[in-house]
Every structure is written in C-alpha cells, then in structure tokens.
Structure 1
Amino acid sequence: MMTFDPADPDFRRDPYPTYARLRGRTPVIMRPERGDVFVFGAIAVREALQDPRLVMDGARDGRPGPSWDEMAAIPDPVRRHQGLLAKAQDFHGLWFANLDSPEHEAVARLFAPPFTATPVREMADVIAQDVGYLLDALDRQSDQGGAIDLMEGFARRLPMRVIARILGLAGAVPGAADDLTRQVEDWLWASTRSMMAGLDLDADARCLTLGHFAMVGLVEHVRPYLDRPVRPGLIATLALHCAEGRVTRDEALANLSLLLFAGNETTRQLIGATLFHLLSRPEIMTAVAADLASVAGVVAEPLRFDPPVQYVVRRTREPVSLWNVDLPAGVRVRLVVGSAGRDPEAWPSGVGSGPDPDIFDPWRPQPPSLAFGRGIHHCLGMRLAQAEAVIAVREFLRRYPEARLVAPGAVWRPSVRVRDLAHLFISTGGRS
C-alpha cells in the first residue's frame, strides 16, 4: 500500500500536488507505523462522513472524577493546577463535536440556537459594525505608511469579537468602551492557537501539554461568567440550563471553550483564504469588487479550493472493510476534505465540473461542500462563519478595491490539519 510523509516541508507548504498524486493512485492510504488511514477521494470522503461505522475519535470514556469546580477549589496551587491539566484532557471528551448520536444531539441542541438562520441573519448589522470598526483601524495604519498585515489586524480579530458577543463576553457596540479589551483578545488568541497546535497531526508531547494549558486558561476565563453572567448571551442561557439540570457545569464549560477556539480559527482562515486568493488574482478581484452582490458565491470557492480544515478524524467502531481496505476496530480514519474538493469526481453527475478543479474560479458550479462536514456532525457554526466571511470580504472590497499584495505577501504556518495563513501583507491602494 502507498504511503506518504506529512512532515515533508513541501507537503506542508502546498499539499495539493501530493493530494492529486495520491488520489490518482488510490482513494485510501494507510500509515502502518502510525496505525491510521487517510482518505483522499471525494466520493469516499463523502460516504465516510455519513457512515455509522465510523464514529468520533474523542468521545468520553465515562470515567467518574471530580468536577472542574472541585479541582479549581483545591487550596494547594501545584495540586490545583495539576488537577486542572488532567481535567482539561478529559474535557475533549465532553465537546459535543466529539460525541456520537444520541448524546451529540442532546448536548448540541443546547448550544445551537444562536447559530441558526434567524439569529445569524439578525447579527448581520452588528458584524458589519465590527468590520467597519476594524477597517477604520486599518485606515489609520495605512495613513502611517508601510505594509498592513490583514491576518493580524482584521481576519483574526473579527471572529473573536463576534463569538465573544454571542457568548456574552462582550457588549453589542464596537469601540473603546467594549470590555473585550485588546489584552483579553490577545490572550484568548494565544490560547486558541495553542489548543489548535495540540490537535494537529502527530502533535508532540509539548504541543499537547501547551494545548491543555490553553484549555485551563480558557475555562478559567469563562467560569466566572457562568457563575454571574454580566449580559445576555449563550453563557447566561447555559447558566439557566445548569440550574435546571439540563446540562452539567463541566459540559457547559467544556463546550464554551470549544466555541471560543473553533468559532475563531476556521472563520479566520476562511476570511484570510478568500482575501488571499482574490488578491493573488487581480483580474478576479476587480470583477468581484465591481459586483459586490457576488461575494456570497465567491466565498464558497475557497471552501472547495483551499478549505480551512484539511481533514477530520473518525474512528472505526468495529472491524470494517472500506474501499477494499480491511480495518480493525479502533483505527483512526482521517478524511481529507482538502483533497476531496480538488477531486474531479466531486461534482455529481449532471452538474458539470466546469474548469480544472485546480483552478480558482469563484463562478464555477459548486459541488456539495464537504468543508463543514455532513450528517449529524455538520458544523454548527457554518452559517455564522459564512456570514462573517461574506460581510468581511464585501466591506473590504468596497473600501479597498485597489488593494494589492506586498512583500513578503502570504506567510503560512506549518500545519497539516489546517491551512494556517499566519500573515497576509498588503497595501490598501487608497480608499474608495
């Protein structure tokens, strides 16, 4: 069976040529030394996402133990921190994203209301205000001269502000009076970065430990709000659910930390990838800037062409034969949605594939997107992420239709699980 090296620097810089080569030979690659399987073909990925024999990899193991609050009350600071680090490892098993049916639905429905169609639609004006606030800051930076880092000053700040408002960690009006201060925002950002590194492919012990440290920090930041909500939002709603016994405090705290980091990371990358691919193709960017109503469709193309999350993980619940490969129970199966979007077989019969899948074309007929998953684990925050990206890209192009990349351009952080655009340097080219 063929294999490949995810640690190869060329692969981490641009995985798509490797995906194409492997996909052309077989839809499935096993790494015997790691005991896991990669699935590259669009049809195989689509089927696997809905296969009941493939379950989530991080489900709880049911071990009894002290609650987070009990650990946090330990007087000795060393023992307290050791206990919280151990609890942070267990919290991954409480994430609704890591649960299977019926537990998944029971927990997820308590967190879902702010992310459904009507609340997201009603958030549009607030998101636009936040976008305007951040673009005003870019204006001031542009007036000082030099390159602007769009990831630092725009793409990473918007999702954090939006999710903080939904949770009730920040007020409804952007500006200096907002209690989501730059210091707290930066700290939350550093924590989510560490958590994401701990979830990357073959993360070493140091990355895993840093991820658990970050989890402790996030939970300890949110916990006082769950005790005494200071404004309306999901945290206040969950405090009521905890009092009514509909959810445990550990479940609430674990999933609030999930929303803080998941609600930030993938949306940041979607905004960044969309702007990067437009800025890299001035003729397309000019056409989109002249027709801002087209932005909603344009944002769909990076989800196919260069999705933020490159693969999702499942585990075989029982011995199974998948795509002519026999797998025992307990094998991790990595479903590479980044490869599936470039597979010519991604387009259903009758839709028409349009141009070469390796060409960025925002006007092509789109295959059913796999970027947000399928089945019960379809991404809860999909509508919000898309709304943020559409508003951010539309207002950026409205204000800076002449923006262009400047050296050093795009800087990618090495990662396998996510396409991690760390920096994106531009000149605004003046304002419209």
Structure 2
Amino acid sequence: MESSERQLRAQMGFFHDLVRKLAAQGDPYAKVLTAPDNPYPAYEEIRERGALYRSPLGTWVTTDHEIANQVLREKRFGVRKANGEKVPEFMNFDNSMLGLDPPDHTRLRRMTMPTFNPRVADRWRGRAEKICHRLIDDILATGDRFDLMTAFAHHLPTAVIGDLVGIPDEDRDRFHLLSREIVPLLDGVVTYEKARGVDAAIAGMTELFARVVARRRADPREDMISRMLPLVDEGRLTMGELLPLCMFLPLAGTETTVNLIGNGVLALLRHPEQWRMVAERPELAEGVVAETLRHDPPVQTYRRIAHEPVELAGVSLPVDGELAIVAAGANRDPKVFTEPARFDITRANRNDTLSFSAGIHYCLGASLAKFEAEVAYQALISRLPRLRQAGPVRRRGSFIIRGMREFPLSVS
C-alpha cells in the first residue's frame, strides 16, 4: 500500500511539474491548468492557435463556439474511454451521471429529471426569496462588513437543494462541511493530499446519505430520495447508483449556483451603471444571470473523449483522443458575440452560451441555478443598495470552477 501511495504521489507531482514547465514555455493550455486568477488571456492565446489546438500535454483544446457546441452534442464523444473505462486524471465521479455515458447515463438522467423539471423547480422561488431576505437580515445584524461567499452565496443553494433532494435540516451542516472537502474533485485534483482528502470526504458523505436514505424510507416526503427509493425496490436502480446521485447532484448544483451568484455580484459592482439598471428594473436580474453565465461562467471547461476516429476542423482525432472544451472561451468567440469581453446585461444573444454544457450532459439543474441567482441579485440590490467591495477577492485556484473563496463587502 505504501509503495502504491508513493507511486501515486510521484505521478501527481510529475504532472504538476510538467504543467508548470510547459506553461513557462508558453503553452496556453498549460497556463490554463495552473489556474491563474484571470484565465481569459490564455483562452485568447488558444483561439489564436486555431479552431483546434493540440497542447504538448497531448490534449486537443478548443475555444471555438461552433466546434465546442458540436462536440458537446456529438454522440461519438463521451466522458469515458471508448471501452467504458474511467479517465484517471483530475476527476472521477464513479457511478454519478457526471461520469457516465449512455446507456447508464440515459437511464439515471430519466429517473432524476422529475426533481429538476423547470416547472417543479420554479415552485421554490418563494422559498428562495425568504432565504435570501433572512440571510440579509443576519448580515445587517452583524455589522457593516461581511463575506458574500460564506455569509450568503453558500447558504442559499444549500438550503434549496437540501429541500429538493431530501436532506434533513439537522444533516445540512454536515453535508456542507463534507461538500467543502469534496470540492477539489470539481476543481480538478492535482495533488496527492487533495486526493486523499476527497476520498475521506466521500466516505463520510456515503455514510451520511446511507442514514438519510434509511430515514426517508421510513418517512417518505416530496423529495428526490423518496421518489427514487421505489425504483430501488423495483430493481430499476441500485443503492450503489442512488448514493452517488445523492452526493454529486447536490454538490454540482450547489457549486454552480454559489459561483454564479458571486461572479454576477462582482461584475455588477465593477459596472455600477448596470447595478443601477437592475435597481430601477428588477426584471433585468434575468439578464444579469444570462450575461454572467456568458462573461464569467462558474464552469469553465468540459472534457470529452473520442469513442471512434473523428475528423474535426481538419484534424484527425483517434479513439480515446481527449478534447478540452473551454466553454468560457467559446462564450467569448467574436464570431458569435459582438465585443465579447464587454459585460452587458442587455446583450441580445446572451443566451447562446455553453455554460451548462449541451446535448445529453446539459445541466439538469440549470433552471434551478438561474432562478436562485436571479432572486439573489434582486434581494441584494434592493436590500443593500450601497453595497461595495471592501477588500481583495481570493480565488479558489481552479481551472474548472470559476469562483471566489472570499469576497469581502461593505453595506455602506
């Protein structure tokens, strides 16, 4: 065991050193993997290399909107190797939908769709509004300064997704703490220490949801777990599939919304004229959501693996060829978006983005994330009209998830 751990540590260290070396030599994709605070110049360097660029790391990379959209919808690409093996680097979501291809992905997605149906999710708008105002009440009661991420942004989606999935109130603090430990899995695990911490947190989360599932079996409610337990009894779903769904769907949905809220507030504070527009016309908060998703999306990059030889943009990709789809770069493709670097909540085609992926892996919780962020912007702008940044932000150091660990604000 010690020998295998040393070998894994050495492999991760070698890859980390290689990325830094190639970044210093000018490889724009390696620069992206170093998780700079501002990755957008590196995305433009990738765009300058052509529609499809091959990094010395062996990965093909694109920021071209047309190609990215095509690949995300293309059945010849998947998230696993052609023979179904998991891709070892960075992320491993085991039996969750995030790490599966059809037919298992199709089957599990069909089972979870009723929970995340846009019409069902929209019923929670009133609940989200109440949560936002309660959080702001707490902020105002504690003084002039607060951290947006820890005092507000993390709490809203955790409460809403907890209700939808079926996490009891008394288990939500534990869920939140374990989620923080698993987040490096979304960020892209590149160190041995982070990988071990993720493993420990997943074990804790598995134990937590085993208890929650047993509780919901004894006391079913109107939530995802209660809805899916009969499928387990019928043999259409295994407990080994249900528990990862319980873990990773809430985690992915929470992280997307947390950072959508944070990135949008930061953009508005940097564009005070647009903050004032939303103050005068709260319905424009929908435009803030859409433009934040385009301009500074929470999820920056997706990865796909060719399941057969593919000709793409004049390039021949072999079986198991890896393609990094830089959605945040595609969202700034000048062939699609006029003045792509400009933040504009009134942009006409702001919805033509790839921020929730596309095709069979389009985000199940997209509607939920959008309305939560919209409600959050409206509440913050109406209740805290003089909100301002009160110190430097601290980024989370991820090349996949774009967000902040700390975002200090002042209410006056």
CA distance in 2, matches of 1:325, 1:9: 23
> Which amino acid counterpart does residue 127 of structure 2 have in structure 1?
V
CA distance in 1, matches of 2:155, 2:66: 36
Contact 1:60 1:93 in 2 (8 A): no
Structure 2 equivalent of residue 236 of structure 1: 226
Structure 2 equivalent of residue 345 of structure 1: 335
What is the percent sequence identity of the aligned residues?
29
> Where do residues 3-152 of structure 1 align in structure 2 (5 Å cutoff)?
3-4=27-28, 6-7=30-31, 12-32=36-56, 34-57=57-80, 61=84, 92-142=93-143, 145=144, 147-152=145-150
Question: Where in structure 1 are there 5+ consecutive unaligned residues?
Answer: 64-88, 171-177, 348-352
> Which amino acid counterpart does residue 427 of structure 1 have in structure 2?
S
Structure 1 equivalent of residue 214 of structure 2: 227
> Where do residues 180-219 of structure 1 align in structure 2 (5 Å cutoff)?
180=171, 184-185=172-173, 187-201=174-188, 203-219=190-206
Report the CA distance between 1:116 and its aligned residue: 0.7
CA distance in 1, matches of 2:29, 2:325: 16
Cα 1:58–1:111 shift into 2, 3 Å: farther
Report the CA distance between 1:99 and its aligned residue: 2.3
Report the CA distance between 1:427 and its aligned residue: 1.0
Report the CA distance between 1:92 and its aligned residue: 2.2
Q: 328, 341, 361: which one pairs with 2:344? A: 361
Name the stretch that deviates more: 188-197 or 295-304: 188-197
Contact 2:184 2:198 in 1 (8 A): yes
Structure 2 equivalent of residue 81 of structure 1: none
Cα 1:51–1:380 shift into 2, 3 Å: same
Report the CA distance between 1:104 and its aligned residue: 1.8
CA distance in 1, matches of 2:311, 2:199: 35
Contact 1:192 1:260 in 2 (8 A): no
Cα 1:211–1:10 shift into 2, 3 Å: closer
Is 1:179–2:177 an aligned residue pair? Answer: no
Structure 2 equivalent of residue 402 of structure 1: 386
> Which amino acid counterpart does residue 355 of structure 2 have in structure 1?
A
SS at match of 1:313: strand
CA distance in 2, matches of 1:109, 1:53: 21
Cα offsets for 1:78-132 (capped at 9, x unmatched): xxxxxxxxxxx99823112322233222111111112112211211111111112
SS at match of 2:78: strand
CA distance in 1, matches of 2:387, 2:125: 24
Cα 1:35–1:62 shift into 2, 3 Å: closer
TM-score normalised by the chain length of structure 2 = 0.86
> Which amino acid counterpart does residue 41 of structure 1 have in structure 2?
D
Structure 2 equivalent of residue 325 of structure 1: 315
CA distance in 2, matches of 1:138, 1:99: 41
Question: Where in structure 2 are there 5+ consecutive unaligned residues?
Answer: 1-25
Cα 1:90–1:112 shift into 2, 3 Å: same
CA distance in 2, matches of 1:420, 1:57: 26
Report the CA distance between 1:209 and its aligned residue: 2.4
Structure 1 equivalent of residue 250 of structure 2: 260
CA distance in 1, matches of 2:316, 2:281: 51
Contact 1:28 1:38 in 2 (8 A): yes
Report the CA distance between 1:278 and its aligned residue: 0.6
Cα offsets for 1:299-342 (capped at 9, x unmatched): 10010000000001111112223222222211221110010111
Contact 1:6 1:416 in 2 (8 A): no
Report the CA distance between 1:205 and its aligned residue: 2.8
SS at match of 2:406: strand
Contact 2:53 2:62 in 1 (8 A): yes
CA distance in 2, matches of 1:29, 1:93: 29
Contact 2:76 2:308 in 1 (8 A): yes
Cα offsets for 1:379-404 (capped at 9, x unmatched): 00001000110111111111111111
Structure 1 equivalent of residue 395 of structure 2: 412
Cα offsets for 1:3-36 (capped at 9, x unmatched): 325357986110111211221331222233x332
> Where do residues 351-390 of structure 1 align in structure 2 (5 Å cutoff)?
353=338, 356-367=339-350, 368-390=352-374
Q: 395, 404, 408: which one pairs with 1:425? A: 408
SS at match of 1:94: coil
Contact 2:35 2:397 in 1 (8 A): no
TM-score normalised by the chain length of structure 1 = 0.82
- Size of the alignment, in residue pairs? 381
Contact 1:29 1:38 in 2 (8 A): yes
SS at match of 1:359: coil
> Which amino acid counterpart does residue 224 of structure 1 have in structure 2?
R
Cα offsets for 1:232-278 (capped at 9, x unmatched): 11111122221121210010001111112112111100011111111
Report the CA distance between 1:58 and its aligned residue: 7.5
Report the CA distance between 1:295 and its aligned residue: 0.8
Structure 2 equivalent of residue 165 of structure 1: 163
Cα 1:316–1:370 shift into 2, 3 Å: same
Report the CA distance between 1:59 and its aligned residue: 9.2
Is 1:247–2:237 an aligned residue pair? Answer: yes
Structure 2 equivalent of residue 82 of structure 1: none
CA distance in 2, matches of 1:407, 1:241: 50
